[in-house]
Chain A
């Protein structure tokens, strides 16, 4: 069990650029979640997958955001035309058998 991993850990980009983050969940976990966390706040739910199916998206996930989990294993989160308001920590988690979620270390995005 290597835990949940996320890459990159840090990303600095200029406004208007596209960025993509990757999450590798715990291998036997079918559910994968994305959250966003801004400074001083708790994480906020963005979207989740059951295997390769995206089952729910938050209203926070604007049209510029897209998430995929093509083979039901790793997932990617893409942000197009980034804005300064997208600067945040993006967290990924996978779901254990008792309803507990295991989080990765996060990707910190800074949009300049």
Chain B
């Protein structure tokens, strides 16, 4: 079973920031938080990951709370092409590295 909880859906206006929350209250000290997204009829796409520090790349920012029990993925200026299902996955590096997906959050960016 997935170790994360996400809202099933969210809406965002084009050009505004999209903030997608994720709860992972049972995360272990050596588990990372990974985010993927899946645009309709495509394979999932890796976005970003982090352990305890906030992270930023060209796609998004990841904010992890100090107690690591929740995180927020931020798309700073959402576009229509960001409409997708976003998956938050808690994952331990090493071992099989298999991913356990939940149902994710369906983000709809509106014009």
Chain A interfacial positions (CB closer than 8 Å to B): 4, 31, 33, 35, 40-45, 48, 55-56, 91, 93, 95-96, 98-106
How far does the Cβ of A4 sit from chain B's closest Cβ, in whole Å? 8
Residues in B whose Cβ lies below 8 Å from that of A104: 43
Q: Given A42-B104, A93-B43, A98–B99 Cβ distance below 8 Å?
A: no
Which 6 pairs across A and B sit closest by C-beta, in order of nearness? A42-B101, A103-B43, A100-B46, A45-B98, A99-B93, A103-B44
Instruction: Report the number of A-B residue pairs with Cβ-Cβ less than 8 Å.
Output: 58
Which residues of chain B have C-beta atoms less than 8 A from A40's C-beta?
103
Residues from chain A with a CB closer than 8 A to the CB of B99 are 33, 35, 43, 45, 101
Contact B97 A99 (CB under 8 A): yes
A100 to chain B, nearest CB (A): 4
B-side residues, CB < 8 A to A, are: 2, 32, 34, 36, 42-46, 49, 85, 87, 91, 93, 96-104
**Shortest Cβ distance from residue A36 to the other chain B in the assembled complex, whole angstroms:** 11
Task: Check B98 against A100 for contact (C-beta < 8 Å).
Answer: no
Docked-complex contact B49 and A42, CB < 8 angstroms? no
Given contacts A41-B103, A99-B49, contact A48 B34 (CB under 8 A): no
Q: Are B102 and A48 in contact (CB under 8 A)?
A: no
Q: How far is the CA of A31 from the CA of B103 in the complex (A)?
A: 25
Of the A-B pairs whose beta carbons lie under 8 Å apart in the complex, a sample of 12, sorted by A's number, is A33-B99, A41-B103, A42-B85, A44-B101, A56-B96, A91-B44, A96-B46, A98-B49, A101-B46, A102-B46, A105-B42, A106-B42
Q: Are A55 and B34 in contact (CB under 8 A)?
A: no
Is there an interface contact between B43 and A105, defined as CB atoms closer than 8 Å? yes
